Amino acid sequence: MKKKRTTIKDLARRLDISVSTVSRALRDAPDINPATRQEVLDLAQKLNYKRSTLATSLVSKRTFNIGVIVPELSVPFFGHVIAGIQETLLSKGYQMMICQSSEKIEQEQKSIELLMDHHVDGILISPTVETNHLEHIKMLKEEEVPVVLFDRTLPEANGIFSSVTVDDEEGAFNATTHLIHEGYQRIAHISGPKHLQITQQRLKGYKEALRLHNLPYVEDWVVHGDMHSNIGRITQQLLALPTPPDAIFAINDPVAFQVLHTLLSMKIDVPKEIGVVGYTGSDMAKLYHPTLSTVRQPAQSIGKEAALLLLEEIDSLWDRRVEKQPFVYRNRVLPTELVVGQSSRRNF
């Protein structure tokens, strides 16, 4: 029922030449008379011809669509990443289909199938907090669909999937060291799900900083949360400890904001009584009062790099048809930047 667009057939008829010639002209094939080529192009322009991506895809098997799966669409960080992805993809002639897993592995699973049904040429995934295995993602490999993980990943993904992350350990190390330098002695860490690599790495950086400064690692001061709920309660529990911490390093900014809110509501002075550092580098960090110290992740760049890796992998998949050499997976690790705000400066 759609108004039908002009097709190469139309062009062929009007120019009284064959469709194959038109087709050649339209994708400037080598063997074509420049004159006829121009004729075709002109008419195409005039009739507002647009190549049907559908038909092209049907025969070529490529859709130039790539799928993106994020845990939460409403988290600004992912918004920035997606913006980066989008930019890169567009410049290369790709479009993206986005799915939200809502931090549920089941939904992640479904999304993958959905994207497959829509013939995406590749998929970018940031696993959910529930995702403690990669079976459903490995399936994609079997279907020869390139995959790149971003931001979050699992240790077992190593050597199987390309990925783009930040140097989580270093970032955490810097954040913790900063707190120590500011004079905080009892630094707690509100961590994330244990199986996620970012959790492990950040915890590692945190520990390393303590070790290097001869501060004890206190089990009670390290709590694993789900990055979302109950942060208020967790914070209160930390404060209720026999020896409560005098600083809190949160796994990310959303958690940090909840911590701040809880502390300030209890009329605890931040940063005098308790220092706080987050991780993300969200826009709100510099708008909060006090401004939040945070380890800035280059969200946009993460998106760009991930998209680039994926496209390279896709290209290699298509060119490689003859010389079947195995693809080399790459793990791009981007640097972070500690942005010191007021929430961690005792002399504020």
Partner DNA sequence: TTGTAGGCGTTATCAC
Partner DNA sequence: GTGATAACGCCTACAA
Q: Which residues bind its own copies (CB under 8 A)?
A: 1-3, 50, 52-55, 57-58, 61, 63, 65, 72-76, 78-80, 82-83, 86, 90, 95-100, 102, 114, 116-119, 142-144, 257-258, 260-261, 264-265, 283-284, 286-289, 291, 317-318, 320-321
> Closest approach of Cβ 202 to its own copies, in Å?
21
> How long a stretch of residues is the chain?
348
By beta-carbon proximity to DNA, the closer residue of 52 and 158 is: 52
Residue with tokens 């190390």: 173
For residue 2, give the DSSP letter: P
By beta-carbon proximity to its own copies, the closer residue of 46 and 320 is: 320
d(CA 171, CA 173): 5
By beta-carbon proximity to its own copies, the closer residue of 203 and 238 is: 238
> Closest approach of Cβ 197 to its own copies, in Å?
24
Partner from its own copies, DNA, none binding residue 316, C-beta < 5-8 Å depending on class: none
By beta-carbon proximity to DNA, the closer residue of 217 and 318 is: 318
By beta-carbon proximity to DNA, the closer residue of 59 and 328 is: 59
> Closest approach of Cβ 283 to its own copies, in Å?
8
Strand 337-339 versus strand 293-296 pairing type: antiparallel
> Closest approach of Cβ 111 to DNA, in Å?
21
List of residues 6+ apart from 223 with CB closer than 8 A: 188, 189, 190, 191, 234, 237, 238
> Closest approach of Cβ 121 to DNA, in Å?
15
List of residues 6+ apart from 306 with CB closer than 8 A: 81, 84, 85, 124, 148, 149, 150, 163, 164, 332
Q: Are 105 and 133 in contact (CB under 8 A)?
A: no
Residues near DNA (CB under 7 A) are 4-5, 7-9, 17-21, 23-24, 26-27, 31-33, 35-37, 49-52, 54-56, 58-60
Q: How deeply is 111 buried, as exposed, middle or buried, from its count of CB atoms within 10 A (0-12, 13-18, 19+)?
A: buried
Whether the upstream peptide bond of residue 244 has omega within 30° of 0, thus cis, is no
